Structure 1
Amino acid sequence: MTAFSLEPAQLAWCAELRSLAAERLHPLADKGEPGHVNRTLVAELGGLGLLGRLFTSGALDLCLMRESLAYACTEAETALALQGLGAHPVHAYGTEAQRARWLPRVTAGTAIAAFALSEPGAGSDAAALELRAEADASQAGRSSGAAQAGQSSDTAQAGRSSDAPVLTAAPDGPARWRLTGEKCWISNAPEADFYTVFARTTPGAGARGVTAFLVPADRPGLTGRGLDMLSPHPIGALDFDAVPVTAGDVLGEVDRGFRVAMGTLNLFRPSVGAFAVGMAQAALDATLTHTAGRDAFGGKLRDLQAVSHQVAEMALRTEAARLMVHAAASAYDADDPDVPRRSAMAKLLATETAQYVVDTAVQLHGARALQRGHLLEHLYREVRAPRIYEGASEVQRGIIAKELYARQEAR
């Protein structure tokens, strides 16, 4: 199998996933409350065995899952992806105890994971993060900032929704650090059950002074609030008020957390592209149906050359993006040293392509596409964010250029 073709079994699996998404997952997504974790939907993903595949499959399989689910149910795709993004650092860098405690619940869909990297002043420049992990000299006392009587309804102990599982609030041993600061634009916050949190353990050391921690949502001093975003899934901010963490909460090595972050993003960036390709394909197929059946100017809309050429361009760009996503995922699976560049290219091309395809589809559908509830109205809202998260398009261009010049200098 090459990056440019799929085996019959893979094609059949993609078709099965599209059917599952349309028939079983989409109805559950429709019952969810916008801006909140749909735990029923996540549990169904677990019951279907899809969450477990996040940790047993390669990057190409992850891309096939995300594209197929996105085609029929973007909410299901996003729920699956966020479980993977939040829990992959535990799978790849966690201790045996950390994996045993959390991964079975993640794969069953009974624990919600989140990836907490971005901050109000450190979005695209992730190495500039300021959440402090300060040494705890006393190893005594607890912050009272977690949950106090009279909390407002939109500020609560992170993850403590009424149907969330009861987890252990106190750390397993004496605190070695106290986390103080803020995270922002965090998907699944404040309703996740645990967070992969990146904090600065060595001031002034840039990317080399960051440590990744596994922080249960009910740790004392951790609170969260939802943000009103253009997104059906929850996005929030987290406040850390001297949150205790121990050596047993570290993911990977102290001061090497940026490797955890980049390793995770290198895997998930091509699959963000796959999510975008799924949306683009759905918009393209809807446009083919519409232009073939719509009467206009004495014929069908597709008979107008201006229309047919736009449709051809949509198809061309969608297929090109799909091939680049598959190539990047295959490179990751082959442990290719060129993964950062390929991952950045795949995410950049696919997300920019999806924006173009969905926008063109809206234009060819006319006003009906902007009506609430229309597929394209939904995709038009969904397609914008992937050009920003997990590294904005400008960041991807910077990564590509850096890798190209590094390769030239190494010759």
Structure 2
Amino acid sequence: MADRSFLDWPFFTSAHRELAGRLEDWCAAHLPVAHGDVDAACRGLVATLGAGGWLVHTGAGEGERLDIRTLCLIRETLARHDGLADFAFAMQGLGMGAVSLFGTAEQREWLQRTRGGGAIAGFALTEPGAGSDVAATATVAERVGGGWRLSGEKTYISNGGIADVYVVIARTGEGPGAKRLSAFLMPADAPGLTVAERIEVMAPHPLARLKLDGVALPEAALIGEPGGGFKVAMTVLDHFRPTVGAAALGFARRALDAAVERARRPRPSGLLADYQMVQGHVADMSLKIDAAALLVYRAAWAKDRGAARISREAAMAKLYATEAAQEVVDMAVQLHGGDGVRTGIAVERLYREIRALRIYEGASDVQRLVIARSLLA
């Protein structure tokens, strides 16, 4: 059983603790799910999470604010039980984050659907030549009549191919550099939008390259102000980066549990737990997890307390938690010996699942730049 003593930390209210308990019971009853057909599994998870009321937390209703601590607690718990469930939950929030934070009443009708599990969301930001450097976005949105025409390509888009709606960042040219970007709400059935390629990765989930060939959108598809797309994207990432660290925590806690169980398992030559070297590794794993949790929930607490920006805190949380989780999972694999790399073993799955978290929503070196620049500015 994963350590839950962190719930007694002063970052949390009684409502957070009660939610964590209910979610633990829900996960025990519903997770994990079969991953054989990843698309079907994700569709089913969105529907099940919606029916359970968990997706309500992925967006803010009129007059509400996102509660980042709740998002982090849910992602950590889901990731510990089933990485694909965490993915399905997270993308409903990230995919519609721009609408939740900047959307009009009309656009928020989509938000009601994604929060209920009736529609799947995607965030179309990354391009072949613009990953961490959002300002290098090449997809173009031109004004045409009473609307917009979008042309370009997006890649490594999570939920690509199964999403019902995407938020897409495109170049509109209002000013220099990042000020040339705008955000748009794009239904998946918009004429001109095609799935050019489904991308297979080491920890399977729906991922695709999208082609935008003159996609026509109405004026009402614009999210926020023209030229405000960079601000929209960075604000969304500011809110959701701590939750990536929380997902890493979930993976790390599951790995530690597996390592402790392995160390306690009887063997003819004695328990692994009796070796001081193994005890040292377990201690290091536990230390990294607690340090990561402190950074993650500090960032979430700061945002929930009303901080306008938490770029440095969010970068620290994501950077440390994902890097530490990679080390924790790697050590769990090591302590399992040959079984650690055997397909179907929990730590082997975690080893594949944890790696992407150090890349998406800003790679680790990008987080280092964010932290350093905040100190040197």
In the alignment, which of 120, 125, 134 is matched to residue 117 of structure 1? 125
In the alignment, which of 202, 226, 230 is matched to residue 202 of structure 2? 230
1:252 aligns with 2:261: no
In the alignment, which of 39, 55, 68 is matched to residue 77 of structure 2? 68
Match of 1:130 in 2: 138
Cα 1:198–1:375 shift into 2, 3 Å: same
Match of 1:84 in 2: 93
Q: Deviations over 1:70-103 (max 9, x none)?
A: 1111111110000110012111111101112x12
Instruction: Tell me, yes or no, if the aligned pair for 1:25 and 1:44 is still in contact at 8 Å.
Output: no
Q: Deviations over 1:92-149 (max 9, x none)?
A: 111101112x12211121111000100000001111010011232xx4xxxxxxxxxx
Matched ranges for 1:247-326 at <5 A = 247-295=219-267, 298-326=269-297
Match of 1:216 in 2: 187
In the alignment, which of 42, 47, 50 is matched to residue 43 of structure 1? 47
Instruction: Tell me, yes or no, if the aligned pair for 1:3 and 1:330 is still in contact at 8 Å.
Output: no
Cα 1:254–1:15 shift into 2, 3 Å: same
Instruction: Tell me, yes or no, if the aligned pair for 2:59 and 2:96 is still in contact at 8 Å.
Output: no
Instruction: Tell me, yes or no, if the aligned pair for 1:283 and 1:358 is still in contact at 8 Å.
Output: yes
| Structure 1 residue 204: Cα displacement | 7.2
Cα 1:92–1:6 shift into 2, 3 Å: closer
1:107 aligns with 2:111: no
Match of 2:374 in 1: 403
Q: Which amino acid aligns with 1:15?
A: G
Instruction: Tell me, yes or no, if the aligned pair for 2:11 and 2:301 is still in contact at 8 Å.
Output: no
Structure 1's consecutive aligned runs of 4 or more residues displaced over 4 angstroms after TM superposition are: 1-5
| Structure 1 residue 4: Cα displacement | 4.8
Cα 1:336–1:104 shift into 2, 3 Å: closer
RMSD over aligned CA atoms reads: 1.8
Instruction: Tell me, yes or no, if the aligned pair for 1:35 and 1:231 is still in contact at 8 Å.
Output: no
Instruction: Tell me, yes or no, if the aligned pair for 1:93 and 1:260 is still in contact at 8 Å.
Output: yes
SS where residue 243 of structure 1 aligns? strand
Q: Which amino acid aligns with 1:270?
A: P
Matched ranges for 1:5-16 at <5 A = 5-7=11-13, 9-16=15-22
| Structure 1 residue 37: Cα displacement | 6.0
Distance 1:329 1:10 in 2: 12
* Aligned residue pairs, count: 365
Instruction: Tell me, yes or no, if the aligned pair for 1:331 and 1:338 is still in contact at 8 Å.
Output: no
Distance 2:229 2:255 in 1: 38
Match of 1:171 in 2: none
Match of 1:393 in 2: 364
Q: Structure 1: which 5+ runs fail to align? A: 140-173, 407-411
Instruction: Tell me, yes or no, if the aligned pair for 1:36 and 1:191 is still in contact at 8 Å.
Output: no
Worse-superposed segment, 203-212 or 235-244: 203-212
Instruction: Tell me, yes or no, if the aligned pair for 2:128 and 2:154 is still in contact at 8 Å.
Output: yes
Distance 1:349 1:374 in 2: 26
SS where residue 182 of structure 1 aligns? strand
1:22 aligns with 2:28: yes
| Structure 1 residue 182: Cα displacement | 0.1
Distance 1:187 1:79 in 2: 10
Instruction: Tell me, yes or no, if the aligned pair for 2:100 and 2:111 is still in contact at 8 Å.
Output: yes
| Structure 1 residue 369: Cα displacement | 2.0
SS where residue 299 of structure 1 aligns? coil
Q: Which amino acid aligns with 2:282?
A: V
Distance 2:207 2:320 in 1: 25
Distance 1:377 1:35 in 2: 22
Distance 1:366 1:254 in 2: 55
SS where residue 107 of structure 1 aligns? helix
Distance 1:348 1:36 in 2: 32
| Structure 1 residue 25: Cα displacement | 3.3
1:370 aligns with 2:341: yes
Instruction: Tell me, yes or no, if the aligned pair for 1:276 and 1:351 is still in contact at 8 Å.
Output: yes
| Structure 1 residue 9: Cα displacement | 5.0
Instruction: Tell me, yes or no, if the aligned pair for 1:35 and 1:235 is still in contact at 8 Å.
Output: no
SS where residue 336 of structure 2 aligns? helix
Match of 1:148 in 2: none
Calculate the TM-score normalised by the size of structure 1: 0.85
Identity %: 46
Q: Deviations over 1:325-361 (max 9, x none)?
A: 0000011112225500000000000000110000000
In the alignment, which of 367, 371, 382 is matched to residue 353 of structure 2? 382
Instruction: Tell me, yes or no, if the aligned pair for 1:93 and 1:252 is still in contact at 8 Å.
Output: yes
| Structure 1 residue 201: Cα displacement | 0.2
SS where residue 189 of structure 2 aligns? coil
Q: Deviations over 1:8-67 (max 9, x none)?
A: 5533432332332232132xx215513566212110100010001222451011101110
Match of 2:3 in 1: none
Distance 2:174 2:18 in 1: 51
Instruction: Tell me, yes or no, if the aligned pair for 2:42 and 2:84 is still in contact at 8 Å.
Output: no
Worse-superposed segment, 205-214 or 8-17: 8-17
